[in-house]
Amino acid sequence: MTLATLSDVLQPALFGRYAVAGLVTLGWEDMRAFVAAAEAEECPVILQAGPGCRAHTPLPVLGKMFVHLAEAATVPVVAHLDHGQTLDECRQALDCGFTSLMYDGSRKPLTQNIDETARIADLAHAAGMSCEGEIGFVGYQDGDRSSGTDPGEAAKFAEDTGIDAMAISVGNVHLQQRPSGGLDEDRIAAIQALTDVPLVIHGGSGVPAAQRLRLARTTNICKFNIGTELRQAFGDALRAAINADPQRFDRIEILKDTIDPLVAAARAVLRDLKPEPAAAC
């Protein structure tokens, strides 16, 4: 049984100067590949079910899949609700076995975001689980624009909500298909000068890999969410598997061919963030 909460994996990361990957899952194939990758790299992993995943597969099913994988894993696995939208949804996630709730009140006014996130944090903590909030707004490629995190607001948000991890907007953008100019390191420094809550970067696929590695080692960023680049790896592998044999029609036979490429892609992500060999995992 290696089901872990977000705090279980982020507090050691904060003190050990490394980061844990929050890997965006869409189905069974990527979930099992990500856990296999974490086992091969001997580091923790956070399996994330976001709104798109939940629209495709019901939350109770996702909870069972995450918990099943965690119980058999040799490394800590966090079952994380990503971008939870309502109190009811967060409550349902806890009932379904999730160990970590991300509540996204980032589109709301500060006081409302604080009040609502604090309620979710209380709910999670009462169940022995963890909560991640978001302050500032992380925008979307070809969608809503970002609003950078104000360091003073971030400190107040962390203090007033009691969250275990804080997603910040420092130049990161969701859904980027290739690395962009990178993160605003001055703003990260200003935020962590005022609060010691572990920091989270959504839109990690758009951050150059070298900067991800360096910031994992030198700042309070303890979690990078990675979705797009692994979805690209899966899509490429699936396309190759279908094209390799036009006669093949059994989906399990086709999907089997996606596992190894996806494990390799996830291992590359995890390798850059995990503790250096001398440190404990």
Q: Which of 30, 82, 150, 164 is catalytic?
A: 82
| Closest distance to Zn ion from the beta carbon of 20 (Å) | 15
Cβ proximity of 146 and 139 under 8 Å = yes
Cα–Cα dist 208/189, whole Å: 18
At position 151, the amino acid (one-letter code) is: P
| Closest distance to Zn ion from the beta carbon of 104 (Å) | 7
| Closest distance to Zn ion from the beta carbon of 108 (Å) | 15
Q: Looking at beta carbons only, is 36 or 230 nearer to Zn ion?
A: 230
| Closest distance to Zn ion from the beta carbon of 83 (Å) | 6
Q: Looking at beta carbons only, is 202 or 212 nearer to Zn ion?
A: 202
Q: Count Cβ neighbours within 10 Å for each residue of 100-125 and write b for 16 or more, e otherwise.
A: bbbbbbbeeeeeebbebbbbbbebbb
Strands (E) across the chain are located at 3-4, 20-24, 45-49, 77-84, 100-103, 130-135, 165-168, 199-201, 221-226
**Residue nearest to Zn ion according to CB distances in the complex:** 202
Q: Looking at beta carbons only, is 56 or 256 nearer to Zn ion?
A: 56
| Closest distance to Zn ion from the beta carbon of 251 (Å) | 29
Site of tokens 């990758």: 37
250 among known catalytic residues: no
Q: Residues 197 to 236: which contact Zn ion by CB under 5 A?
A: 202
Site of tokens 């956070």: 46
Residue 89 Ramachandran class (φ > 0 left, ψ -120 to 50 alpha, else beta) = alpha
DSSP state of 5: -
Question: Which listed range, 6-14, 27-35, 37-45, 194-202, lies at the site for Zn ion (CB under 5 A)?
Answer: 194-202
Q: Looking at beta carbons only, is 80 or 202 nearer to Zn ion?
A: 202
Q: Looking at beta carbons only, is 66 or 137 nearer to Zn ion?
A: 137
Q: Does 32 bind Zn ion (CB under 5 A)?
A: no
Residue 172 Ramachandran class (φ > 0 left, ψ -120 to 50 alpha, else beta) = beta
Cα–Cα dist 85/97, whole Å: 18
| Closest distance to Zn ion from the beta carbon of 51 (Å) | 9
Q: Residues 140 to 169: which contact Zn ion by CB under 5 A?
A: none
Kindly determine how many residues on this chain lie close enough to bind Zn ion according to the rule CB under 5 A.
1
Cα–Cα dist 15/146, whole Å: 29
Q: Looking at beta carbons only, is 41 or 104 nearer to Zn ion?
A: 104
DSSP state of 206: G
Residues annotated as part of the active site: 82
Using CB under 5 A as the criterion, which residues of the chain lie in contact with Zn ion when the complex forms? 202
